[in-house]
Amino acid sequence: MNKDSKKMDWYTLAFIAFSGVWGFGNITNGFVYFSGTKVILSWIFIFVLYFIPYALMVGELGSAFKSSEGGVSSWVNNTVGSKVAYFAGWTYWVCHIAYIANKGSSGLKALSWAVFRNAEIYDSLPSRYVQLAVLVILFFFCWVACKGINPLKKLASIAGTSTFIMSILYILLMFAAPSINPGAGYVPLDFSIKNFIPEFNITYLTSLSILVFAVGGVEKISPYVNKVKNPSEGFPKGVILMALMVVACAIFGTFAMGMMFDPSVINSSKESFNSYVANAPYWAFQKLGEYYHLGDILLILYAVCNMIGQFAVLLVSIDAPLRMLLSNEESHQFLPSMLLKQNENGAYVNGIKLVAILSGSLILIQSLVPGAANVIAQLTKLNSVCMPFRYLWVFVAYLALRKSQNKFHADYRFTENQAVAKFFGVWCFSLTLICCILGMYSDDKFTMILNIVTPVFLAALGVIMPLLAKRERTVKGNK
């Protein structure tokens, strides 16, 4: 049998990558943070000059290290060395601390929408009570992770597929709605140039991290590079098709949102803005149900799928990144032995306790923020600052790979031109870093302090761990 017959076609890769990278929340966040249709040019810029090169670089790394299962950490270990690989693994894990805190809040928000079908009940609750509930949810899922029970992992793929399908349906149904129900009171779309030109001010620059965060994580498709027929041609074709699908989804999704929501209302006050950040996806499906005289059926379906997805991702985020860090034997020399302790279920119990302490502390800090919707808005921005820091290691590994390209064989290369390859490696690294740093700024002092202190503290903790491990070895050696 021909070996290629067992491999996937390039367009299959495109659909797999699209469903894994893109989500409905990316559309709503882009629309809310960038004043509606003014986000479109920014989306195109991010896709063409960042997302596509990023994905093609990931393809080359995946092809060069096809037998490495540790992802970014393995790439850095092969190209730079074990100590730098430890910091890459640490960054990948520790970036999930804020993400975990956000998933608990988002899951509870989705549950509230599924039950009460409005934003007011959840948003009116005092933050301290909501955050205590989120803390209980975190502790429960940490307990589940310690038991080695992962009942939500299969549901995660089902929920993720369902919300992905509903996202596509939303765009299709929204464009068809004016013909089916012309008197529903849509927001008229203004196609004048001024509504497509972004306002290049401090708000715009400090929000770019939202778009970088939205398109990041492409390294998840690296295992598929060598499973595509003729990787040197098939992989870039699949990535480009995926990018075109994402661009189309972002643009048409933005137009669909523009038919529902007026950016001037969103930006009328800080409270209104934060409320849209927290509730826009649910309002979108609620309005869509009204247009088609379906009541809240679409809203409930989306809320339930999103709730399952959020809680499933919460469980996976507690367990999977920690395993990637602690299961890598190359990193053991940089970590205190207590973190490597496993129970009878194979769970890294002390590592999970550290997750509970760090994410739990962040959840308790959020109880000082007035308003549950404000908490979600603040965590959304914090994640857009923290999570892209892990993408930096992809570009570090890529630049190191190209520097030693004769040492590593890759069936697929982003480009044969060394200057072009290095330019895009440096460009993507610089853009990611600049967006993360700019994203720390906020006109709210508490938010700005949290955006700066959180990544600095978590990075410092990663520097301290090798020192503790060295001290532990010294003490043992003196005994």
Q: Are 224 and 59 in contact (CB under 8 A)?
A: no
* CA–CA distance, 398 with 204 (Å, rounded to integer): 29
Three-state SS string across 160-173, please? HHHHHHHHHHHHHH
Strand partners, 8: 228
What percent of the chain shows pLDDT beyond 70?
A: 95
Q: What is the pLDDT of residue 1?
A: 45
- What are the angstrom distances between the C-alpha of 5 and each of 1, 8, 234? 7, 8, 14
* CA–CA distance, 466 with 381 (Å, rounded to integer): 30
Q: What is the pLDDT of residue 269?
A: 95
Average of per-residue pLDDT values in the chain = 90
Angle at 15 between CA 396 and CA 26, to 5 degrees: 65
Q: What is the pLDDT of residue 319?
A: 87
- Please state which of the ranges 109-113, 194-198, 267-271 shows the lowest mean pLDDT: 194-198
- Sequence-ordered list of residues with C-beta below 8 angstroms from that of 404, at least 6 positions apart, any chain: 79
DSSP string, 30-91: HHHHTTGGGGHHHHHHHIIIIIHHHHHHHHHHHHHTTT--STHHHHHHHHT-HHHHHHHHHH
State yes or no: pLDDT of 454 exceeds 50. Answer: yes
Residue 378 sits at φ, ψ, to 5 deg, of -65, -40
Q: What is the pLDDT of residue 5?
A: 57
Q: What is the pLDDT of residue 100?
A: 95
Q: What is the pLDDT of residue 453?
A: 97
Q: What is the pLDDT of residue 230?
A: 83
Angle at 112 between CA 449 and CA 139, to 5 degrees: 60
pLDDT, tens only, 316-368? 889 888 988 888 888 899 999 999 999 998 899 999 999 999 999 999 999 99
pLDDT, tens only, 136-167? 999 999 999 898 766 656 666 676 677 778 88
* CA–CA distance, 160 with 141 (Å, rounded to integer): 19
Residue 65 sits at φ, ψ, to 5 deg, of -125, 55
N-terminal to C-terminal alpha carbon distance within the chain: 62
State yes or no: pLDDT of 22 exceeds 60. Answer: yes
Q: What is the pLDDT of residue 235?
A: 83
| 455: amino acid identity, one letter | P
pLDDT, tens only, 160-217? 677 778 888 999 999 999 999 999 989 998 889 988 999 999 999 999 999 999 998 8
pLDDT, tens only, 370-390? 989 999 999 999 999 999 999
What percent of the chain shows pLDDT beyond 90?
A: 64
Q: Are 53 and 424 in contact (CB under 8 A)?
A: yes
- Sequence-ordered list of residues with C-beta below 8 angstroms from that of 188, at least 6 positions apart, any chain: none
Q: What is the pLDDT of residue 264?
A: 94
- Per-state percent for the chain, helix, strand, coil, to nearest 5: 80, 0, 20
pTM: 0.92
Residue 369, classified by CB atoms within 10 Å of its CB into exposed (0-12), middle (13-18) or buried (19+), is buried
Supply 354's token pair.
């550290």
Nearest to 108 by CA among 250, 310, 268: 310
Q: Are 273 and 74 in contact (CB under 8 A)?
A: no
Three-state SS string across 234-250, please? HHHHHHHHHHHHHHHHH
Q: What is the pLDDT of residue 4?
A: 56
State yes or no: pLDDT of 83 exceeds 60. Answer: yes
* CA–CA distance, 265 with 262 (Å, rounded to integer): 5
Residues in the chain: 479
Strand partners, 228: 8
Region 260-280: what's the mean pLDDT?
95
CB atoms within 10 A of CB 337: 13
Nearest to 53 by CA among 439, 389, 431, 411: 431
Q: What is the pLDDT of residue 7?
A: 82
DSSP string, 249-297: HHHHHHHHHHTT--HHHHTT-HHHHHHHHHHHHHHHHHHHHHHTT-TTH
* CA–CA distance, 30 with 287 (Å, rounded to integer): 19
Considering only CA atoms, give the Rg of the chain.
23
